[in-house]
């Protein structure tokens, strides 16, 4: 399976795209299969990022949106737009499944019916299915078991993460864009891969002040991953003030507390799981 980071920036990032990624059920460098999209950023830039990553939107049959903030939800309207238009034109095959908590699904349904043409939104409920998930619900995505979990957000919106067993005994987890807490450690402990937010370096905490906006630091994310025995940690949803040195600086801070494989990807960077 391949993990492609379509965007790595926080909500107001301008030098990189908002945090989102894709999972594909193929080995890196081989012909692509189906795609599972996790969040979609804040606009139609998601279509550009998919094109740059070489991911055909026709291959996306599942989209999970973690919460209703604009930098995660609004790009999904563009995914719904191209999928429904593709269905209308007869060049999108099969069904499309949209996953999210109740707040996410209600918002997406309303936006789709407000913003898409009636001939496009008519596919909702027929070939486009909106699934409101509860804490602990499971589904099959890319033929793998996925468990959705409430991260017990301290912010303004209900937020869910997920854990996917992508191969026997191997799990990829994502906690949305807020730090993990002890309430959901059980879903992530011992994970093979964890995609986790890190708004800034701990050394820059006074500059960015992430805690009041419900975010954390590189050191905090890495300490959590170390505590949970996570094998591979991917940091995203970061500030973008110094992209040229972000990787170098974040790795230096993170490796001081985390002994696993730490990754600080740029937009469009991919990993074979």
Contacts of residue 29, defined as CB under 8 A and 6 or more positions apart, other chains included, come to none
How far apart are the two ends of the chain, measured CA to CA in Å? Answer: 5
Q: What is the pLDDT of residue 33?
A: 76
**250: nearest Cα among 8, 2, 7, 4:** 8
Backbone angles phi, psi at 271, to 5 degrees: -135, 140
What is the topology classification, in CATH, of domain 2-272? Answer: Metallo-beta-lactamase; Chain A (3.60.15)
DSSP E strands in the chain: the ranges are: 2-7, 20-24, 35-38, 60-64, 96-100, 128-132, 138-141, 144-150, 160-167, 170-174, 193-197, 232-236, 261-263, 270-272
Domain boundaries, the chain: 2-272
- Pairing, β 60-64 against β 35-38: parallel
Q: What is the pLDDT of residue 272?
A: 95
Q: What is the pLDDT of residue 27?
A: 47
The pair of three-digit structure tokens given for residue 20, joined into one six-digit string: 């989102």
Torsion angle in degrees (nearest 10) through CA of 45, 68, 195, 99: -90
Task: Indicate the pTM of the whole model.
Answer: 0.96
**173: nearest Cα among 136, 143, 155, 148:** 148
Per DSSP, the residues of 89-139 read HT-S-S-EEEEE-HHHHHHHHHHHHHHS-HHHHTTBTTTEEEEE--TT-EE
Count other C-beta atoms under 10 Å from residue 29's C-beta.
8
pLDDT along the chain (273 residues), means of 10: 97 97 74 86 98 97 98 98 98 98 98 98 98 98 97 92 97 96 94 98 97 97 98 98 98 98 98 96
The pair of three-digit structure tokens given for residue 7, joined into one six-digit string: 């965007």
Distances from the Cα of 171 to the Cα of 117, 224, 226, 230, angstroms: 39, 17, 16, 10
Q: What is the pLDDT of residue 32?
A: 56
Alpha carbons 174 and 180: distance in angstroms, whole number: 9
Count other C-beta atoms under 10 Å from residue 25's C-beta.
17
The pair of three-digit structure tokens given for residue 99, joined into one six-digit string: 């996953």
Angle (CA) 192-5-273 rounded to 5° is 30
DSSP class of 231: S
């Amino acid at each position: 399976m391949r993990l492609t980071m379509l965007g790595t920036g926080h909500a107001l990032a301008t030098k990189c795209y908002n945090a989102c990624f894709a999972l594909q059920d193929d080995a890196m460098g081989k012909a692509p299969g189906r795609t599972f999209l996790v969040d979609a950023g804040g606009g139609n830039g998601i279509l550009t990022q998919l094109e740059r990553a070489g991911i055909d939107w026709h291959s996306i049959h599942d989209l999970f949106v973690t919460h209703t903030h604009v930098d995660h939800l609004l790009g999904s309207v563009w995914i719904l737009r191209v999928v429904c238009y593709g269905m209308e034109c007869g060049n999108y095959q099969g069904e499309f499944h949209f996953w999210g908590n109740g707040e996410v699904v209600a918002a997406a349904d309303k936006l789709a019916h407000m913003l898409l043409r009636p001939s496009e939104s008519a596919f909702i409920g027929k070939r486009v299915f909106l699934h409101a998930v509860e804490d602990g619900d499971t589904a099959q995505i890319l033929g793998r078991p996925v468990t959705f979990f409430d991260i017990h957000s301290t912010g303004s919106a209900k937020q869910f993460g997920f854990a996917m067993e992508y191969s026997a005994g191997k799990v990829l987890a994502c906690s949305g864009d807020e730090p993990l807490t002890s309430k959901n450690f059980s879903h992530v402990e011992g994970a093979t891969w964890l995609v986790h937010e890190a708004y800034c370096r701990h050394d820059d905490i006074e500059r960015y002040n992430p805690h009041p906006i419900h975010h954390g630091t590189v050191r905090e994310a890495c300490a959590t991953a170390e505590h949970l025995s996570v094998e591979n940690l991917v940091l995203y949803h970061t500030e973008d003030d110094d992209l040229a040195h972000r990787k170098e600086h974040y790795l230096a801070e993170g490796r001081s507390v985390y002994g696993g494989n730490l990754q600080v990807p740029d937009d469009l960077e991919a990993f074979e799981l």
